[in-house]
Structure 1
Amino acid sequence: MDAAFWLSVAAIVTLLGVSFFFSGSETALTAASRARMHHLAKSGNKRAGLVEKLTIERERLIGAILLGNNVVNILASTLAASVLIQIFGEAGIVYATIAMTAAVVVFSEVLPKTLALMRPDAFAMVVAPAIRMIVFLFAPITGTVQMIVNTILKGFGLDADKASAVSGHEELRGTVDFLHAEGEVFKHDRDMLGGILDLHELEVSDVMVHRTRMLALDADMPTADLVSAVLESPYTRVPLYRERQDNIVGIVHAKDLLRALMKVGGDPEKVNVTKIAFKPWFVPDTTSVQAQLNAFLKRKLHFALVVDEYGEVQGLITLEDILEEIVGDIADEHDTVMQGLTKQADGSYVIDGQLPIRDLNRALDWNLPDEEANTIAGLVIQEAKLIPEQGAQFTFHNLRFKVLRKTHNRITQLRVTPLGPDTVSS
């Protein structure tokens, strides 16, 4: 065996090493955490910044790596066939195919990609400078290849430039759900992060206190009774109305009322409650929760009344209502405790019909839809396509619903029983 033979063997080994580099780089650069790279880049890590720039133009990156990888694999296979033909004759082609397939799969595909997946961020930062040079050198070729590919796709009515990408919110939500399933994120943390991501999708009508559950006092009732009702209320801000409950004329703050009482020696008859009430703030029911949170912070107010397109009061929303969408129920020593949800011995739940679906999903880890209905009673009516009678039962979303109580056209109490995974919904 002459020197040419050994040079060919050395070239094959070298080419397999280059293939190792390309395969590992491809996996590392696509699997590296974009968030971590961005954070490190902002902290001054130049290699992380380079990784971030490379992954922005992912098509050029993958095209260059695949081009380089295919070139070296084909060249290594050709050299291997040439060497083995010299030794075994025509049978060398078969031996070269078997040997190179095994070598490429093990040493140029599985091994480097496994190593890259073990530490993708570190691997990506190590190979980034060399990959940048390769992307630059192969840019004319990869650009031409991409143009040909796009032309072929357009022939089938597909446009790669208009392909929909996963939004940042969806990616974050998917990551959090996955980590929760893996046990790395607790349910409470997942719910909080999900609540933050939901703020821009929700409208104030989704989280407001509906007018049927809203405490409002008649501004024309006897002053002593009005003062007593405000102070006995579990709320610090109480709406005042005249003639009808949706004619809100002011909002009285318990602290302002106490200050007024102190000034008159504690005599409620000397207090003009309507004068110390502040002007109500009305917001459309279609306002996004994120926008309302920003408005609360900007105006330094915690309370707003929600109206529909006709100006009719639909309910109220507070800063606490929005915060509860993130952190869950907030209770203090003055809150009125309302069960609303009681687990029974048989595994079923007795639920107040006005309990919000989002609260149920958060508390019980259910996944009931809340796009069309806000409350559990509303969901039953929506699914049943009618207002059911007391005692009626329905099965959907793998749950059995039974109407326990009904007042006029309102479902006030339900029994909900989770069904087994093999139960067919109807």
Structure 2
Amino acid sequence: MTVALGLTLGAILGLLIVSAFFSGSETALTAASRARMHALEDDGNPRAGLVNRLLDSRERLIGALLLGNNLVNIAASALTTSLFLSVFGEAGVAYATLVMTALVVVFAEVLPKTYAILNADRMALAVAPALEVLVALLAPVTAALQFLVRHTLRLFGSNIDDDAEVLSAHEEIRGAIELHHKEGGVVKGDRDMLGGVLDLRELDVSDIMVHRTKMVTIDADLPSADIIDQALQSSHTRLPLWKGEREEIVGILHARTLLQALRDSRGDVSKIDVMALATPPWFVPDTTTLKAQLAAFLKRKNHFSIVVDEYGEVMGLLTLEDIIEEIVGDITDETDVAATDAQPQPDGSLLVEGLVPVRDVNRLMDWDLPDEEATTVAGLVIHEAQTIPNPGQTFNFHGFRFEVLRRHRNRITRLRVVPLNEPAGKAETAHAPADKPAAKTGSKDS
């Protein structure tokens, strides 16, 4: 009897140890740094290679661990119940439940998982060989379980593909950046820069282009002297030329080419044919992603493009600098006019031009205004208000108050945005006296 009791207690203890191994291994593998594992594998660490292969088939790995963990827990509970029944009679069921719950929670779940979280990489490398054997042995069973789970979920309308991923690599990276920023490991500027790189594949050229109303262009029908004067007075090196209508772009004039022509003609502007100096415009669709457009800029070695819609109408222009600024922020030099498109105020509010993109406001003020339905601040107000407001009107939505300061025809040109203490509901309109005219603003264009 004593030998049988000892064997039973030893079996229960061994099963709890195995359960702790499964629980800790699951936590270690899921918490291990994929980047560090890949670096170690590149350095020739065979166990890191095992970890990466296990994580590549994450569903099989988790299925094997859960299956093994549940098997040993059930076996340990059954043995404990049998033992307590022989000692305490029918009351042994209750005693066995209490004892096993305490033992499993403390020693087979909390303790090993806490250790695994604190030593995820080291433990993942240690348990990888054993887990590889376990996954291989339980592969037929886990495959059958996966098949059963997927088809059961499909009965409830949830269709899960075999290769479906809940979180893409880009989203994982973005989440890691945001986490480190909140913890103080990544400063705001670095977070915005890294996020800008990830955003290139999600944004279209229409999201960051210089709108046609802010483009600096020159009438190609003007005398050469006037065109040269306008080009030299501009702070831009590339200037679109138009004929008939401003949207009819016929060429791009480069300041360097113009200066070379002036030198060759010894300053005689009458000898200069401006259209002969201009290069053909490069038109790109407004639906082109920034990632694709950046690749096209580098491939064509052309840094200037005209953005058109599906009907071929000019919508704006885009330069290589515009895309780079999405990553590193505004780039200014000695020829740039001080931008006042968005001016933070001491009281926490923001004076902003209507055509400023919502994304720029979010990056500047660290706000979270939605940019799915509208690209610009003015567009956001019009979308939410379902009308073109007049100066003096205010709207509360998304936790901010938007006050219209100026309007030109059908365009909102100036607003004040004030964060509210408590998020407001759908747009509430209030008529208030118009604010004093804001200072004249500069603009960023071609």
Distance (whole Å) between structure 1 residues aligned to residue 90 and residue 371 of structure 2: 69
| 1:78 positional shift | 3.4
Q: Give the 3 Å change call, closer, same or farther, for CA 200–147 of structure 1 in structure 2.
A: closer
Secondary structure of the equivalent of 1:265? Answer: coil
Match of 1:383 in 2: 384
Mapped pair 1:124 → 2:120: no
| 1:151 positional shift | 4.1
Distance (whole Å) between structure 2 residues aligned to residue 49 and residue 139 of structure 1: 19
Distance (whole Å) between structure 2 residues aligned to residue 284 and residue 124 of structure 1: 48
Distance (whole Å) between structure 2 residues aligned to residue 279 and residue 98 of structure 1: 82
| 1:45 positional shift | 2.5
Mapped pair 1:56 → 2:41: no
Letter of the structure 2 residue corresponding to residue 55 of structure 1: L
Distance (whole Å) between structure 2 residues aligned to residue 78 and residue 100 of structure 1: 10
Distance (whole Å) between structure 2 residues aligned to residue 217 and residue 151 of structure 1: 65
| 1:340 positional shift | 1.2
Deviations along 1:65-115, whole A, 9 cap, x unmatched?
A: 122222222333333344445555554444333322222111111000011
Greater shift in the superposed pair: 275-284 or 111-120: 275-284
Q: Give the 3 Å change call, closer, same or farther, for CA 142–375 of structure 1 in structure 2.
A: closer
Letter of the structure 2 residue corresponding to residue 143 of structure 1: A
| 1:247 positional shift | 1.9
Match of 2:250 in 1: 249
| 1:352 positional shift | 1.2
Match of 1:74 in 2: 74
Match of 1:32 in 2: 32
Match of 1:351 in 2: 352
TM-score, normalised on structure 1?
0.93
Deviations along 1:175-194, whole A, 9 cap, x unmatched?
A: 32232222222221221122
Distance (whole Å) between structure 2 residues aligned to residue 152 and residue 286 of structure 1: 40
Distance (whole Å) between structure 2 residues aligned to residue 263 and residue 170 of structure 1: 55
Letter of the structure 1 residue corresponding to residue 153 of structure 2: L
Match of 1:298 in 2: 299
Secondary structure of the equivalent of 2:246? Answer: strand
Letter of the structure 2 residue corresponding to residue 19 of structure 1: S
Distance (whole Å) between structure 2 residues aligned to residue 371 and residue 307 of structure 1: 21
Greater shift in the superposed pair: 53-62 or 39-48: 39-48
Secondary structure of the equivalent of 2:247? Answer: strand
Letter of the structure 1 residue corresponding to residue 44 of structure 2: G
Q: Tell me if the contact between 1:357 and 1:376 (Cα under 8 Å) persists in the aligned partners.
A: yes
Distance (whole Å) between structure 2 residues aligned to residue 283 and residue 96 of structure 1: 73
CA-based RMSD of the aligned residues comes to 2.2
Match of 2:401 in 1: 400
Match of 1:47 in 2: 47
Secondary structure of the equivalent of 1:366? Answer: coil
TM-score, normalised on structure 2?
0.89
| 1:166 positional shift | 2.2
Q: Give the 3 Å change call, closer, same or farther, for CA 397–423 of structure 1 in structure 2.
A: closer
Distance (whole Å) between structure 2 residues aligned to residue 272 and residue 45 of structure 1: 67
Mapped pair 1:417 → 2:411: no
Match of 1:12 in 2: 12
Q: Tell me if the contact between 1:398 and 1:425 (Cα under 8 Å) persists in the aligned partners.
A: no
Secondary structure of the equivalent of 2:413? Answer: strand
Within-5 A mapping of 1:84-123:
84-85=84-85, 87-88=87-88, 90-123=90-123
| 1:168 positional shift | 2.2
Equivalences, count: 426
Mapped pair 1:239 → 2:240: yes
Which structure 2 residue ranges, 5 or more long, are not aligned? 428-446
Letter of the structure 2 residue corresponding to residue 338 of structure 1: A
Within-5 A mapping of 1:196-207:
196-207=197-208
Aligned-pair identity (%): 57
Greater shift in the superposed pair: 29-38 or 45-54: 29-38
Q: Give the 3 Å change call, closer, same or farther, for CA 306–149 of structure 1 in structure 2.
A: closer
